[in-house]
Amino acid sequence: MKTIAVIPARGGSKRLPNKNILMLGDLPLIAHSILYAKANNHLIDAIYVTTDDAAIKKIALSYNVNVIDRPAAISGDFEPTITAVKHVLESIVEEVKTVVLLQPTNPLRPKTLLESCFKVYNEKKCDSLFTVSQNEHKLGRIQNDVFKPFNYKPGQRSQDLEPLYFENGLLYIVKSKSVLKDDIITTNAFPYKMNDLFENIDIDTQADFDYAQYVLNKTSNSEKK
């Protein structure tokens, strides 16, 4: 296989229990990323969900995708995503060139995002690509109860801030050989800049989930008009 999508979805979420199987709109949360990968089958040869949870596994199998049983040793709260993705590559026989990482906690993505990212990824000939968004906030540190501005001077206009970016988590593309070296964002990773309503959705809490539901409803209603 040339390219696979990996969707890491463990159970045991503390802040929002069972979040990966909660219904977002008419679908379980994880299904949004599965269907996104399926919609890009001209770029993705196979889809793998890696999980330690029986309920998540059942849902994934109902969408006819591959499931990798994730060992408990790499399913803890503090385990980095790279170990799950690496375990997928080590568990399958087929040779893989490229991995597309789709996090289920970022369920909503622009329809053409993956295609656009793949085009840039191939043009730049980089080992990895990840999506970023520009920060629009005045940030600072609090030290000894004193707020110290980080990216601005007091009185400075927001539109005059130095451009800073955050990793929005919507998608990652990386060579399999880099994953096997424990890298998803490599030293020559290309930051794909985007500006979209979906970029601020990253579900960890009930408030995050409620916001995602609001955005989904808003965009669905707009498409129906």
Lowest-confidence segment of 55-64, 94-103, 126-135, 151-160 by average pLDDT = 151-160
Residue 140 maps to a domain: no
Does the pLDDT value for residue 78 go beyond 70? yes
- Which pTM does this prediction carry? 0.93
All residues at 6 or more sequence positions from 94 whose CB lies less than 8 Å from its CB, including other chains: 1, 46
Residue 157 maps to a domain: no
Residue 151 maps to a domain: no
Identify the CATH number of the domain in which residue 93 sits.
3.90.550.10
Q: What is the pLDDT of residues 135-166, one digit of tens each?
A: 988 999 999 999 999 989 888 888 888 889 99
Reported as a pLDDT band with limits 50, 70 and 90, residue 225 is: very low
Tell how many helices (H) and how many strands (E) occur in the chain. 6, 11
Residue 182 maps to a domain: yes
Q: Which residues pair with 3 in a beta bridge?
A: 98
Residue 162 maps to a domain: no
All residues at 6 or more sequence positions from 220 whose CB lies less than 8 Å from its CB, including other chains: 25
List the structure tokens of 17. Answer: 């229990």
Does the pLDDT value for residue 60 go beyond 50? yes
List the structure tokens of 178. Answer: 């880099």
Segments forming the whole domain that contains residue 199: 3-132+167-224
Q: How many CB atoms lie within 10 A of CB 201?
A: 24
Residue 148 maps to a domain: no
Residue 142 maps to a domain: no
The mean pLDDT value for 55-63 works out to: 97
Number of domains forming the structure of the chain: 1
